[in-house]
Structure 1
């Protein structure tokens, strides 16, 4: 049996390059927990690249800064309001 293939499948797929949410000039610093909080979900887990839109290099920097801020007790390891 042959599968029915849509004639529109795979045509005219253009992908737009997304801008990084932090920009090129922003320095990722572990001493800024409000900035780092946008890369953490409600449960306190670090969001993946496909959600944040960061480059691989920026994602590594953000993850390292979040882990360092957690170690220095500037950010919580888990969410405060778990029910």
Structure 2
């Protein structure tokens, strides 16, 4: 998959994660897209390292599940950091 495919996949997965995971997030469309892109990379890396599976074609299920899980983890971490900054 090319870099443009990763960007599109990241934005789509980031939007899906925002819809699925409830709660108020301090970020707009740009932050959602960035979280999705970084989450896609994180999910691909974790999937390759732990399970020995890489990302397949654009329409392969692994290509969507691994970035989704990575984005959910990244969104949870982002919420923790944003809440701590808001308190101080």
Give TM-score scaled by structure 1 length.
Answer: 0.30
Give TM-score scaled by structure 2 length.
Answer: 0.29
| Structure ID, larger Rg | 1
